[in-house]
Each structure stands twice: as structure tokens, then as C-alpha cells.
């Protein structure tokens, strides 16, 4: 793999490749040309070839791509085979939406626990995931090494919670709080989910199309 060269734009497209390749694999497609893959993804064949060439030589001239091996390779590149584990902080509406409806395991991530401050939630489980008191966080992380902390807490405590997660050994923060996190420490990765950015992009495209 030539990881050094990979642009952020290519990384952002990889999950889409993964989804399309999974769909194709489920449909029983064995191999596919770059032009057919591109057509189904609204990309040009040369864009596909260029993207995938960042990671090595998967396709063969005149043969196309083997769907299942490319899918596995993309999964590997995306870190889906690294055994990442996650905890959710905040079991309010959004936290519960993730616990109940989002399939972490489909992204190669094992969701092991949730934490909240509400006495009505602590001690219960949602979709088989136990909800603990936030007071138990440090104790839990020391016994269960965890790579990802999901922040669905109020923005006012996002900073404090991220510090506690990082002190507990978490490597990545999936941040739904709309607060900018100023993370200290080497190798800590933050992925922000900004609903507003998405809605504003939609607003732009609607306004442009009128």
C-alpha cells in the first residue's frame, strides 16, 4: 500500500466503494469493469482507476476487478479488520438512535457499552448494549481497551468527556456534539458529524437548482 499519497478526498470516497462493492457482492457479481463500477457510482472509469491505484494494483487490463477481493481489500484499508471497539457517551435520543438502529458491526466496530448520567437509563440495556453510569467510565476503559468514543452528550460537556476518553486510552472520537474539540495528545483522531454542514449543502443545491 502506498498510504502516504492518499488524499483526503479519496479516503472519503472509500466507504462508498465499500458499500457499492458489498451490494455487488450480495448480488452475486464476481467481477466488474471500472466503467461499470464507475457508472453505478457516478464516477468516470478513469476516476475509479485513479482512486484504486492509490492502494496498489487490483484491476487487470481487460479483466476488471474481482468484486470480493476488492471489497476485502477496501475493508482492510479502512481498518475494518483491526478489531476496533467503541463506547457511546450519552444515551439520549441520538445516542439511542445509534444504539438501536446503527449497525456498528457492519463497519467492523464492536460497540461494547454506553454511559449516561440518568438513573432511569443506568443498569438497562439497549439492543443488548449495557448502559453504565458515567462514573464508571475510567474503571470500564481500564478493563476494556477501547479505540473509539462516540460523543452524543450535550455540547457543554463534550470537552470534558473527550479528555476522559483520551485519558482512558481511546484513539478516536466520533463527535456528534457540534462542539469543536481541541484535542491534546499525539495520534488522537476526531471525526465530526456536523448535521448543519449537510443541511447547508442541501440548502445551497436547492437554491442553485431553482
Ramachandran quadrant class, 66 (left: phi over 0; alpha: psi -120 to 50; beta: rest): beta
For a second copy, the closer CB: 30 or 201: 201
Binding test (CB under 8 A) with a second copy, winner from 49, 102, 117, 133: 102
Residues in contact with a second copy, counted by CB under 8 A, come to a total of 56
Q: Is 167 in the site for a second copy (CB under 8 A)?
A: no
Q: With respect to a second copy, which residue has the nearer C-beta, 59 or 95?
A: 95
How far is the C-alpha of 166 from the C-alpha of 150, rounded, in Å? 12
* Structural element, H or E, at residue 88: strand 84-89
Among 55, 65, 104, 140, binds a second copy (CB under 8 A): 104
Compare residues 96 and 164 and give the one whose CB is closer to a second copy.
96
Binding status of residue 193 toward a second copy by CB under 8 A: yes
Instruction: Give the binding range for a second copy (CB under 8 A) out of 24-32, 79-87, 113-121, 157-165.
Output: 79-87
Does 77 engage in binding with a second copy (CB under 8 A)? yes
**Alpha-carbon distance 19 to 107, whole Å?**
10
Q: Is 52 exposed, middle or buried (0-12, 13-18, 19+ CB in 10 A)?
A: buried
Residue 99: other Cβ atoms inside 10 A? 21
Nearest to 123 by CA among 168, 86, 91, 87: 91
Query: Looking at 28-36, 74-82, 138-146, 159-167, which segment touches a second copy (CB under 8 A)?
Result: 74-82
Residue 16 or 144 having the CB closest to a second copy:
16
Nearest CA to 137 among 109, 157, 120, 155?
157
Q: Whole-number minimum distance, CB 112 to a second copy, in Å?
A: 15
Phi/psi region, residue 83 (left: phi>0; alpha: psi -120 to 50; beta: rest), is left
Q: Which residue in the set 31, 35, 66, 108 belongs to the binding site for a second copy (CB under 8 A)?
A: 108
The crossing angle, in degrees rounded to 10, of helices 34-41 and 8-26 is 100
- Residue 194 sits in the site that holds a second copy (CB under 8 A): yes
Q: Which parts of this chain interact with a second copy (CB under 8 A)?
A: 3, 9, 11-12, 14-16, 18-19, 77-80, 82, 84, 92-94, 96-98, 100-104, 106-109, 147-148, 171-172, 174, 187, 189, 191, 193-210
Amino acid at each position: 500500500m502506498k498510504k502516504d499519497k492518499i488524499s483526503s478526498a479519496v479516503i472519503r470516497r472509500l466507504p462508498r466503494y465499500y458499500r457499492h462493492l458489498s451490494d455487488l457482492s450480495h448480488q452475486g457479481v464476481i467481477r466488474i469493469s471500472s466503467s461499470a463500477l464507475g457508472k453505478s457510482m457516478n464516477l468516470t472509469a478513469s476516476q475509479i482507476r485513479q482512486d484504486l491505484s492509490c492502494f496498489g494494483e487490483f484491476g487487470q487490463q481487460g479483466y476488471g476487478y474481482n468484486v470480493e477481493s476488492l471489497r476485502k481489500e477496501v475493508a482492510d484499508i479502512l481498518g475494518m479488520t483491526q478489531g476496533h471497539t467503541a463506547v457511546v457517551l450519552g444515551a439520549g435520543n441520538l445516542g439511542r438512535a445509534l444504539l438501536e438502529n446503527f449497525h456498528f458491526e457492519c463497519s467492523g466496530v464492536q460497540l461494547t457499552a454506553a454511559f449516561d448520567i440518568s438513573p432511569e437509563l443506568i443498569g438497562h440495556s439497549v439492543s443488548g448494549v449495557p448502559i453504565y453510569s458515567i462514573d464508571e467510565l475510567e474503571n470500564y476503559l481500564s478493563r476494556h481497551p477501547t479505540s473509539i468514543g462516540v460523543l452524543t452528550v450535550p455540547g457543554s460537556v463534550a470537552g470534558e468527556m473527550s479528555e476522559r476518553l483520551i485519558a482512558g486510552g481511546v484513539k478516536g472520537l466520533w463527535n456528534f456534539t457540534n462542539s469543536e474539540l481541541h484535542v491534546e495528545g499525539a495520534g488522537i483522531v476526531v471525526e465530526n458529524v456536523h448535521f448543519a454542514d449537510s443541511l447547508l449543502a442541501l440548502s445551497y443545491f436547492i437554491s442553485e437548482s431553482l
